Amino acid sequence: MKISAIDITHYLLPLDPPFRPAWDPVPRTQCAATIVRVHTDEGLTGIGSGDLMVGFSGHEHLFIGRDPFEIDRHWQVLDNIDFHYGRCWPLDIALWDLKGKALGQPVFRVLGGRKNKMLAYASTGELAGPEKRAASAQDLLEQGFRAMKIRFHHHDPREDIKVVEAVRKAVGDRMEIMVDANQGWNMPWDTSPSWDIDRASEVAEVLEDLKVYWIEEPLPHHDFRGMAALRRRVGIRIAGGEMNRRWHDFREMDVLGSLDVYQPDAVLTGGITMVKKIAHLVQKNGVWFSPHTWTNGIGLLANLHLASAVSRCPYLEFPFDPPTWTIQRRDFMMEPEDRLMIDPEGYLHVPEKPGLGFTLDEKALSPYAVNFSQCVQ
């Protein structure tokens, strides 16, 4: 089998009402999705998504005519492109989808197949006051979720802590609560400062008393030593690494003991090919791999397959914060029957169909097709 063409198309889904993520000072009135299709001379097509493929244009010839199963070689080319230009890891995802389809196996089984379902934690996206978030926690509990993640980003973290207190009061010990401090990185237009280690420690100690499961990104993504020092100082688990891009970042964090939960996202960091290796590297020290999945439904699916194959963490991130971040918005590019939702026990099941196990909803996508330049918001 040979790669015959690589098509990259861009879409913008309007969001009305807008989605106001805690990590972005600008509300989002549209959501971008880039779809990568790897076609072959045998008629099979692999599909990936999750990032904009910045810098890929002009490099197609490095793949066309090659065997799609040469994934390690293709990974090296993508890693070179990542160094010089941008993150083109959705192509690696498409190659794994293609490999699964060619073998007639779901990707998680090709990768090792540790389990076929995972407990999902509902990952909320917006800031909400104590009453509103406590009510949404109750809703999530009724839907079967056994864990949820709350965002921090009020100017004064004491306002955020009040939200966690209200949720703990509402759900008792029936749900695990994670907290995302979102101090790891900023959007291009956001020049606000991050917490320092003293503020991170103060918050972490309060959250520990509230039996919070982990605190995520309490310090900037490059502060490997600071996170290691914080981890020694407090008892709560420290999570991070969602935006670290290079293998060497994870090697350094592993050596320094920076984190309890490593969160590289296969669509943003090295593809399934590299993140599988990172997961094995860090988990040998008894800590967890639990990928970030906050891109779109295909990104969630790719990380679900990988985490099911290799993760020892009980929970996987499930981006979900209705009414502004819904399954319909997140998974709009997938046929409705392929969209992902938990079962009543809180489990997310890995599709057993070959590849990643979804079909693009071309009809749903086509009205939203745009040029690449319109996607950079």
Cα separation, 281 vs 265, whole angstroms: 15
CB 177 within 8 A of CB 168: yes
Site size for Mg ion, by CB under 5 A?
Answer: 3
Of the two residues 97 and 216, which places its CB atom closer to Mg ion in the complex?
216
CB 48, min distance to Mg ion, A? 21
Q: Whose structure tokens read 């939702």?
A: 341
CB 233, min distance to Mg ion, A? 21
- Give the residue ranges of DSSP H helices in 154-310: 157-171, 197-209, 224-233, 247-256, 271-283, 297-310
Residue 321 lies near Mg ion (rule: CB under 5 A) = no
173-232 positions binding Mg ion, by CB under 5 A: 180, 216
CB 195, min distance to Mg ion, A? 14
Using DSSP, how many helices (H) and how many strands (E) does the chain show?
12, 13
CB 150, min distance to Mg ion, A? 11
CB 181, min distance to Mg ion, A? 9
Among the listed ranges 7-15, 92-100, 131-139, 240-248, the one in contact with Mg ion (CB under 5 A) is 240-248
- Phi and psi for 57 in degrees, rounded to 5? -55, 130
Element (H, E) at 363: helix 362-365
- Relative to beta strand 147-151, strand 369-370 is unpaired
163-182 positions binding Mg ion, by CB under 5 A: 180
Of the two residues 242 and 260, which places its CB atom closer to Mg ion in the complex?
242
CB 320, min distance to Mg ion, A? 14
Of the two residues 216 and 338, which places its CB atom closer to Mg ion in the complex?
216
Structure tokens belonging to residue 81: 């492109």
Among the listed ranges 48-56, 189-197, 235-243, 353-361, the one in contact with Mg ion (CB under 5 A) is 235-243
Residue nearest to Mg ion (CB): 180
CB 275 within 8 A of CB 254: no
- Phi and psi for 71 in degrees, rounded to 5? -65, -35
**What are the residues binding Mg ion (CB under 5 A)?**
180, 216, 242
